Amino acid sequence: MRKKYAILSEDELHEDIKIIPPNDDKIIEIADRDGNTYSVNMKELSCTCEDWETDRHNFCIGDPRRCCFHIKKAFRRNNAIEEQKPVIKAILNEYHTVRLNMLFGMLGSQPVAIFYDDESPWMDVFTEIDQNKQIGRSGFNYKEKRWAYNEEPVNGDKIASFIVNSI
């Protein structure tokens, strides 16, 4: 039996974590490494792949967890990333698939989006990675309480404490 993930309505999503779909009904064909082709509807943020149809279709249109690998690739291919908020830009530009569990919060004006699954102690943390407020991905292992490659983001100690106390 598959785990049920927290489903948020579009009203419950913070503005900094909402994906803005393109305002057209464009259907884009995206091929994977094995030669399979999937149809992505950019306006509905939907895909014909098994990952989307099994796990991602229940998330609201603005939720980044709705984006399978193919939807992210369609955003990159169609230059539809620039109109997004900084956290969403970083998520869409990242080649990893968005994990299905999500925590989101603000440290003052600093957005922090955390994605994880039950199979791994590693989490993807999208937040400011330098003093210039550039948003990027950092890895955090909640069991070992450490950042990957000792590359701690801005306010890494506070983020780590939040993660350890939330999981």
Give the residue from 69, 71, 70, 93 showing the smallest Cα distance to 81. Answer: 93
What is residue 123's predicted lDDT score, i.e. its pLDDT? 95
Q: What is the CA radius of gyration of the chain?
A: 16
Q: What is this structure's pTM?
A: 0.89
CA gap 40, 119 in Å, rounded: 27
Query: Does residue 135 contact residue 128 with C-beta atoms inside 8 Å?
Result: yes
Give the E-state strand segments of 42-109 in sequence order: 46-47, 101-107
* Residue keyed to tokens 């600093």: 110
Q: Which residues of the chain have pLDDT under 50?
A: 1-3
- The rounded percent of the chain whose pLDDT value lies above 90 is 77
What is residue 24's predicted lDDT score, i.e. its pLDDT? 80
What is residue 5's predicted lDDT score, i.e. its pLDDT? 66
What is residue 167's predicted lDDT score, i.e. its pLDDT? 77
